Each structure stands twice: as C-alpha cells, then as structure tokens.
C-alpha cells in the first residue's frame, strides 16, 4: 500500500481551485466597482422640476413653468469654475443645432455678486439666456452639489438626467440623452 | 401684530396627500370598472375580425362571410362607444371631485374669519414696465414675485392675479407693497404703497392697482380695500 499522492487533481483540489477562482472574480469585481467614478444618486431624478422665476443677466425674466412642452436644459455655473466655460460653449453648440426642435437652455449663475455673474455671462457669449441666482434659492431647490451641473428636463417637466462635471464622455452622453428626449 | 399660521406646511402636506390618495383611489376604481366592462363585453369583435385575417380555404364561404361580420362589427363599435362614454363620465367625475377637494382645501387652510387675499391688476402700463412686487404685511415679507413678459401681457389684457393669500388675526394691520420695474425713459423705477386696514371677522380682499397718470406722465400705485 502506498501513501503517495495519486496523479491528477483530487476532488479536494478541484473544490479549492473553484473557491480561489470565485474569490479572484469577486476581488476583480470589487476593484472594478471601486475604480469606476462614483456617481452619487440624485434625489430629484424622475420628479417634477421645481418651478422658479429668475432675472436674466440680459433680457427678460424667465419662469420655468412657462416652458412646459419643451425640453429644457439647466446648467448651473459659477465664474470661478474653469470647466463651466467649456461646458457652456458645448451647450451653445447643441442649442444652435436643436433650438428649432423645441430645446431651451438656461445657464444659472450661482455667484454671490450679480455683477460678477453678468460679466461672466457677457464674456461667455452664448445664445441662450443666462440667469442669475445670487440668493441660491434655485440651486438649493435643485440640490446642486457640483459645478458645472447640468439637468435635462423632459417635455412633461420631469427631471430625466443629471450630469455632474464636464468631460468629452459626458458631452456624448448628454447629446444622446438630448436627442432621445427631443424625439419623445 | 403677529401673523397667525393656520396653514402650516405639515397640515397642507397632509391635505394634499389625502387628496392625492382619494384621486388615486378613484382612478384605480375607474380603471377596474373599465377592465370589468371590457371583460364583460361579448367577444363579438374578435370573432368578426378573425375571418378577415385568415383567408378561407374554399371559395364557398367567401360568399357567405360578408353577411355576418358587418352586424358583429356594428355591435363592437357600439360597445366601444358606450365604453368611451363611460370613461368620459368617470373622468368628469374625477375632475369635479378634484374641484370640490380644492375648494375644501382652500376653506380649511384659509378660513373666512382669518383669510386675507391680495390681488394685483394693471392698466395701460405705458409709463411702467413691471418686473417684481414685494409684499410686506406687518413688516414681515410674505411674497416677492417676479414677473415674466407673458404674465405682464396677461395683466395688461385685463387679468387679475391673486398674488397672496394668507391668514391674519382680527385687528389692525399694515400692508406695504414695493413695485420694481422700468419707469418713464426706460429707467429703473421703484415705488412703494402702503395701507393700514382693519381685519374683521370676514375675509379681507385687497387690490394692488397699477395705473398711468396721463397728466403727470407717471405711473400710479394704489392699494384698494374691497371691504
């Protein structure tokens, strides 16, 4: 009788390998989840967009509820935010393309000083209205936690998408979502 | 004088929740009724539809087939029409109930013995372009309303806006209104108007009136007590 281990894997070896493989897979999944950018949930998603009326940097006052039936994009910005200017330029391009399809875009400045916001709005040279929210009542009601922050509101007045920060990938996603909402 | 707060936000929320619940229940009942009616309807329409989708194998039924489907189709159309009428009736009931609940909510939140409502009207508007109105009652800001061009147009066409509704104790009170906008020569223009009034046991209605003074070429701001 020999006590030597037989050739080939035993049942115990197979089960050990299986456990190790499962552990590796779980670790890989955990790593992927941790490396992916965390997208915080947005409490107002799918909810009716809170109504507001704001002064524009130039031109007439704007009330959101008057634009029911149109796809509305709200972009919160500040003059101290670097990527806001780039994003506003990108929004301006989409506004010129899709305006005739029923798109309205409003930039909402959250600077404390309205004069500073006006100056930034003038220098941004966008075709859509730039609104001023120095009291931050509107940004509070929309729970703005990042700048720039862009919200897509559908024709029924429901918040359908929120995009935090600005990147090329975000812009592609924004355009896809925008087209889908305009086609609804 | 302190302002009473009978219409507290939790009470209003509870009322709205109850109202939404009642409406949701009614809609669910309507949906059930429609479902039951649809289930109870005789299956004549599908039977009539089948011969047209599946062509007959022999030419003989072709001659007899057109005789039965028109009658079945007419019955089906009549059923659908009846169902539509019932749905419309239910919808009307829901709208009526919603209206009644709204009136009830208003009466509960703003009882007549404490209610004070402020309205705004505008006439001509050649010398003043309205931008916003700030309202203070007993030195406490109750509303600051921003106007859009559409709203100003509606006011100029004769619309009267209910700017504020709230509750006040019986006794003397003071209302101050600040009107912001653009005056003659398109310059920033801010004017105030105030009124001391006595709140009695009944509801109080006040009107802010913006008018043009043709003689002075200036806008005029008045507060009118409707008694």
Give residue B220's pLDDT. 86
Give residue B65's pLDDT. 46
Give residue B58's pLDDT. 42
Query: Is this complex's ipTM strictly greater than 0.95?
Result: no
Strand bridging mode A103-109 / A71-77? parallel
* A20 domain-assigned: no
Question: Would you list which residues of chain B are within 8 Å, Cβ to Cβ, of chain A?
Answer: 131-132, 145-151
Rounded Cα distance between B77 and B41, Å, is 12
Q: What is the mean pLDDT of residues B82-110?
A: 90
CB atoms within 10 A of CB B127: 20
Omega within 30 of 0 (cis) for the link into A86: no
With bands split at pLDDT 50, 70 and 90, how would you rate the model's confidence at B142? very high
Contact B149 A60 (CB under 8 A): yes
DSSP assignment letter at B4: P
Q: Along the 184 residues of chain A, how does pLDDT read in single tens digits?
A: 445 555 555 666 656 766 666 765 665 555 544 444 555 688 889 999 999 999 999 889 999 999 999 999 999 999 988 889 888 999 999 999 999 999 999 999 999 999 999 999 999 889 999 999 999 999 999 999 888 899 999 999 999 999 887 787 778 888 888 999 999 8
Angle between helices B44-53 and B69-109 (to 10 degrees): 130
Chain-centroid distance, C-alpha B197: 29
Q: Supply the CATH number for residue A158's domain.
A: 3.40.30.10
Strand bridging mode B188-199 / A129-132? unpaired
* A106 domain-assigned: yes
Q: What is the mean pLDDT of residues B199-212?
A: 89
* Neighboring chain B residues of A61 at a CB cutoff of 8 Å: 131-132, 146-149
* A35 domain-assigned: no
Give residue B60's pLDDT. 42
Give residue A39's pLDDT. 58
Strand partners, B121: B209
In this predicted structure, the answer to whether residue B151 has a pLDDT above a threshold of 60 is yes
Domain of residue A70: give its range. Answer: 53-183
Total structural domains in chain A? 1
Rounded Cα distance between B41 and B80, Å, is 9
Backbone angles phi, psi at A73, to 5 degrees: -115, 125
* Neighboring chain B residues of A54 at a CB cutoff of 8 Å: 146
With bands split at pLDDT 50, 70 and 90, how would you rate the model's confidence at B216? confident
Whether A109 contacts A4, CB under 8 Å: no
Contact B149 A55 (CB under 8 A): no
Pick the closest to residue A105 from A33, A143, A145, A56 (CA basis): A56
Chain-centroid distance, C-alpha B150: 17
State both tokens at A85.
């200017």
* A95 domain-assigned: yes
Pick the closest to residue B223 from B106, B137, B126 (CA basis): B137
In this predicted structure, the answer to whether residue B61 has a pLDDT above a threshold of 50 is no
Contact B146 A60 (CB under 8 A): no
* Neighboring chain A residues of B155 at a CB cutoff of 8 Å: none
State both tokens at A115.
């004069």
* A159 domain-assigned: yes
Contact B146 A63 (CB under 8 A): yes
- DSSP letter for each residue of A53-76: EEEESSS--EEGGGGTTSEEEEEE
Give residue B152's pLDDT. 92
Contact A63 B148 (CB under 8 A): yes
Contact B148 A54 (CB under 8 A): no
* A46 domain-assigned: no
Q: Which residues contact B46 (CB under 8 A, 6 or more apart)?
A: none
Pick the closest to residue A49 from A172, A148, A141, A184 (CA basis): A141
* A156 domain-assigned: yes
Count how many pairs of residues, chain A against chain B, have C-beta atoms within 8 Å.
21
Q: What is the mean pLDDT of chain B?
A: 77
* A101 domain-assigned: yes
């Amino acid at each position: 009788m020999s006590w030597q281990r037989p050739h080939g894997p035993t049942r115990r070896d197979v089960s050990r390998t299986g456990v190790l493989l499962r552990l590796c897979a779980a670790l890989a999944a955990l790593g992927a989840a941790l490396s992916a950018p965390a997208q915080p949930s947005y409490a107002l998603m799918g909810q009716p967009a809170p109504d507001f009326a704001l002064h524009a940097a130039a031109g007439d006052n704007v009330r959101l509820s008057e634009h029911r039936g149109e796809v509305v994009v709200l972009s919160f910005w500040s003059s101290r935010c670097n990527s806001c200017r780039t994003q506003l330029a990108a929004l301006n391009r989409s506004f010129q393309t899709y305006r005739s399809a029923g798109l309205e875009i409003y930039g909402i400045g959250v600077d404390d000083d309205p004069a500073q916001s006006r100056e930034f709005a003038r220098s941004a040279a966008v075709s859509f209205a730039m609104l001023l929210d120095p009291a931050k009542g509107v940004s509070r009601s929309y729970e703005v936690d990042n700048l720039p922050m862009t919200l897509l509101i559908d024709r029924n007045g429901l918040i359908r998408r929120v995009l935090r920060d600005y990147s090329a990938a975000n812009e592609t996603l924004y355009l896809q979502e925008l087209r889908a909402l305009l086609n609804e | 004088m302190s302002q009473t707060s009978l219409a507290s936000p939790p009470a209003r929320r509870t009322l709205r929740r109850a109202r939404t619940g009642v409406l949701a229940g009614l809609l669910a009942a309507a949906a059930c009724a429609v479902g039951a009616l649809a289930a109870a309807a005789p299956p004549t329409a599908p039977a009539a539809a089948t011969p047209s989708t599946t062509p007959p194998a022999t030419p003989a039924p072709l001659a007899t087939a057109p005789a039965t489907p028109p009658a079945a189709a007419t019955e089906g159309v009549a059923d659908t029409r009846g169902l539509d009428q019932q749905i419309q009736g239910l919808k009307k009931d829901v709208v009526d109930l919603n209206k009644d609940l709204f009136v009830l909510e208003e009466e509960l939140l703003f009882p007549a013995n404490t209610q004070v409502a402020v309205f705004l009207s505008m006439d001509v508007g050649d010398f003043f372009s309205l931008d916003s109105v700030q309202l203070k009652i007993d030195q406490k800001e109750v509303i600051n309303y921003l106007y859009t061009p559409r709203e100003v147009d509606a006011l100029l066409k004769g619309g009267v806006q209910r700017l504020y509704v709230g509750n006040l104790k019986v006794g003397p009170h003071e209302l101050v209104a600040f009107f912001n906008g653009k005056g003659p020569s398109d310059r920033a223009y801010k004017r105030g108007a105030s009124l001391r009034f006595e709140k009695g046991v009944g509801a109080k209605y006040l009107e802010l009136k913006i008018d043009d003074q043709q003689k002075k070429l200036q806008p005029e701001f008045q507060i009118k007590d409707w008694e």
